Amino acid sequence: METNKNIEAVEIFTGIIWQAEMVKNLLENADIKAYLTDEIIGTLELPWSAPAGIGSVKVLVSNFDYDKAKLIVEEYKKN
Considering the domain boundaries, does residue 4 fall inside one? no
| Residue 79 pLDDT exceeds 70 | yes
Residue 6 CB-density burial (10 A; 0-12 exposed, 13-18 middle, 19+ buried):
exposed
Q: Closest by alpha carbon to 14, among 48, 33, 42?
A: 42
pLDDT at res. 53 = 46
**Could you give the C-alpha distances from 17 to 21, 41, 54, 67, in angstroms and in order?**
6, 9, 10, 23
- The 10s digit of each residue's pLDDT in 2-60 is 566 799 999 999 988 899 999 999 999 999 999 999 876 655 555 555 555 456 899 99
Considering the domain boundaries, does residue 27 fall inside one? yes
Spatial distance between the Cα atoms of 42 and 63, rounded to a whole number of angstroms = 24
Considering the domain boundaries, does residue 69 fall inside one? yes
Considering the domain boundaries, does residue 2 fall inside one? no
Residue type, 17: I
Considering the domain boundaries, does residue 3 fall inside one? no
